[in-house]
Structure 1
């Protein structure tokens, strides 16, 4: 279950939950920066007291984070439930949320290659959740504010309070009350209350367009026809105006081929029915390809993320054609992605 911290240690780390140490807010509670006695920086999420929903999410998150460890999932350091506290302690992510780097802050702009690599890292984390154990874990709250960035801008998926174990092998979905964030919710899940891993894929498609456009999912300050990002993007794509949706700060950087592959992939994620959406493994494949199309020689600030060794072992190996899924006849996709998960997560449980 992770390391159980005494309350006094958490209080000391956060200067007794000082307002000056607050680095974020959420439906669960406040997030503080903390410094442990060994000078390790941590993020401390303190839940609201006397909330049954908060207690359920607290228990779910601790349980989920205790089960897996992956370079693209935020790591659990410990927790504290002393005196009815609901405190979760994570590794500290120096560069905050993806959302804050896209809009609404004065943080430096992310270039297109950095944005692609952040999407790739996030997709790897979600792919591991969906395939890394005998039962899929469905995140259920994929959004740009739940993708955190470390000091090297490496992406890690966070906030597992709403996560659900996926359906049994003989079932197609989990029936459950709708939870998540407005603007990111899978319409099939919203109308039928049937949750699958493809619900995460839909939400990730929204994040992809958020990354490409550099604007909020819902922006009431815009004209009515542009308020909802997904509706606006789909209208532009139908009229052949894909270039019009691109964040002006990166428009000059993107190669047409990379843009086309990225948009095509995101659009497939937003298919009305889950059965028509790709898996996270397929999304990951296409994002790696979009990065390759952007240019192998382009400099990146995330050198440790896309290494030569990873490229050699990834589904982008040159022995496979990159044109379409049909080009991979006879190649076992499950083996390919199991190889990726194993190579990136040697400490986790065996997935193949």
Structure 2
């Protein structure tokens, strides 16, 4: 019996020891699990803190790049007030002035890369003075201001157009037209607007620099600058592509209103870019007309509907481009008073007369175009005659013009674009003589002169804005 009791005691002890070991193992496992949970929590918290830290640094970097400052605020001015370069004044407007420190070489490449997708940069007058070395080198001048050569800190050349302060309302209209149109577009054949200055002391626009200036210097300047015919054809096609983009590819259609050789700029490789959007206007694509106040455009290039009470559409740019094509082919101005008394005085009409007589090749030869380029030149002339049709509905869209010039479509014989001039000529004779019966035939104006005289008569009759 004692032996049985001893066996039971040993069994109980073994069981207790096993339970103790199990409890110890369970406690160890629990401790390990708790430690793992705590460690995982610490790691997760560390990751979250690291992410937040990185986001804060990135946000700070972005804010420092697009930091708003007051108009005219510069690093030098901040230093004079004892402020560091990291000082950011309150935002003055939707277009804060870019800081001097942001124009250093390290950030300029990013600035130029982003400008195509961002709104134009606002500069202070002091910055433009620095870019242009106090406006020391003049590139050109016009009715609205003077254009100066400048340079960004990293060496990128720019053209700074300072608008005349005396222009009043027209200056403001031009400024808004330029920034509101070209400032929101980007195309290889449109001049780039890097930024602007809008300050009580200065209104200016900052463009990319075009080394070879405007096309008219190659067409009309004496001595005439040499340029190959193939390059002239490329310039015509590139210009057409730029206008087609304005009309058909922008979110809102842009009508330029002043297409002419002086507003086609050439870069170092003679690639064309349409420039000078001072008369441009945005309009919705579903609009079939534009409200006009007064006249726009340049005589000789402006479409008839811009000078007479007819509806105004984007086709007015097509007409102007057609006149530009004539001047590219002839490498002369469309109207040359030195040729008065001969049929060549007004190049467009003389061209159509030659076409009607099947003598277009003679006209091409007279313009100095070689035999190997005659076919391309004749194509360009045919396109020009379609573009200058009197009725806007008869003119092709610019995308079709591009295809015509590139040889992608056949070109039908155009109708007479100048049939309306006979009526204008009679009206101009009466206007100039004061009496139809006493009119002196020797004083009768040419077709070109009578055309614009009639246009001026119609313009004078307009007492209110026309809504087409």
Report if TM-score (shorter chain) is over 0.5.
yes
Deviation of 1:22 after TM superposition, in Å, equals 1.2
Q: Does 1:233 align with 2:385?
A: no
Instruction: Work out whether residues 78 and 90 of structure 1, in 8 Å CA contact, stay in contact via their aligned partners in 2.
Output: yes
SS in 2 for 1:191: coil
Distance 1:78 1:147 in 2: 20
1:232-256 alpha-carbon deviations (Å, 9 max, x no partner): 4334433444234447675115434
Q: Which residue of 1 aligns with 2:63?
A: none
Alpha-carbon spacing, 1:23–1:253, altered in 2? closer, same or farther (3 Å): farther
Alpha-carbon spacing, 1:12–1:196, altered in 2? closer, same or farther (3 Å): same
Q: Greater helix percent: which structure?
A: 2
Instruction: Work out whether residues 257 and 280 of structure 2, in 8 Å CA contact, stay in contact via their aligned partners in 1.
Output: yes
1:121 to 238, 241, 244: 238
Deviation of 1:50 after TM superposition, in Å, equals 3.0
Moved more, 202-211 or 30-39: 30-39
1:94 to 208, 211, 214: 211
SS in 2 for 1:194: coil
Distance 2:262 2:389 in 1: 23
Deviation of 1:167 after TM superposition, in Å, equals 5.3
1:14-65 alpha-carbon deviations (Å, 9 max, x no partner): 22222xx111122211111112222211111111113220121011101112
Q: Does 1:277 align with 2:395?
A: yes
1:165-192 alpha-carbon deviations (Å, 9 max, x no partner): 23551x4211303211110010133212
Q: Which residue of 1 aligns with 2:142?
A: 26
Deviation of 1:196 after TM superposition, in Å, equals 0.9
Q: Which residue of 2 aligns with 1:146?
A: 263
Q: Which residue of 2 aligns with 1:349?
A: none
Distance 1:31 1:232 in 2: 37
Alignment of 1:212-251 (within 5 A): 212-225=329-342, 226-246=344-364, 250-251=368-369
Q: Which residue of 1 aligns with 2:288?
A: 172
Distance 1:266 1:240 in 2: 17
Alignment of 1:264-343 (within 5 A): 264-289=382-407, 316=408, 322-323=409-410
Instruction: Work out whether residues 148 and 155 of structure 1, in 8 Å CA contact, stay in contact via their aligned partners in 2.
Output: yes
Where does the alignment leave 5 or more consecutive residues of structure 2 unmatched? 1-118, 413-468
Instruction: Work out whether residues 364 and 374 of structure 2, in 8 Å CA contact, stay in contact via their aligned partners in 1.
Output: no
SS in 2 for 1:50: helix
Instruction: Work out whether residues 216 and 262 of structure 2, in 8 Å CA contact, stay in contact via their aligned partners in 1.
Output: yes
Distance 1:182 1:130 in 2: 22
1:64 to 169, 177, 181: 181
SS in 2 for 1:192: coil
1:127-168 alpha-carbon deviations (Å, 9 max, x no partner): 000011343111100001100010111110001110112355
Moved more, 197-206 or 38-47: 38-47
Larger radius of gyration: 2
Moved over 6 A (4+): none
1:156 to 268, 273, 281: 273
Count matched residues: 291
Q: Which residue of 2 aligns with 1:15?
A: 133
Q: Which residue of 2 aligns with 1:4?
A: 122
Distance 1:111 1:66 in 2: 33
Instruction: Work out whether residues 383 and 411 of structure 2, in 8 Å CA contact, stay in contact via their aligned partners in 1.
Output: no
SS in 2 for 1:59: helix
Q: Which residue of 2 aligns with 1:211?
A: 328
SS in 1 for 2:126: helix
Instruction: Work out whether residues 253 and 285 of structure 2, in 8 Å CA contact, stay in contact via their aligned partners in 1.
Output: no
Instruction: Work out whether residues 130 and 197 of structure 1, in 8 Å CA contact, stay in contact via their aligned partners in 2.
Output: yes
Q: Does 1:201 align with 2:201?
A: no
Distance 2:202 2:284 in 1: 32
Distance 1:116 1:200 in 2: 19
Q: Does 1:262 align with 2:411?
A: no
Alpha-carbon spacing, 1:241–1:46, altered in 2? closer, same or farther (3 Å): farther
Q: Which residue of 1 aligns with 2:161?
A: 45
Instruction: Work out whether residues 218 and 227 of structure 1, in 8 Å CA contact, stay in contact via their aligned partners in 2.
Output: yes
Alpha-carbon spacing, 1:221–1:23, altered in 2? closer, same or farther (3 Å): farther
Alpha-carbon spacing, 1:33–1:232, altered in 2? closer, same or farther (3 Å): farther
Moved more, 185-194 or 92-101: 185-194
Distance 2:349 2:201 in 1: 44
Q: Does 1:78 align with 2:201?
A: no
Instruction: Work out whether residues 112 and 253 of structure 1, in 8 Å CA contact, stay in contact via their aligned partners in 2.
Output: no
Moved more, 145-154 or 260-269: 260-269
SS in 2 for 1:195: coil
Deviation of 1:223 after TM superposition, in Å, equals 1.8
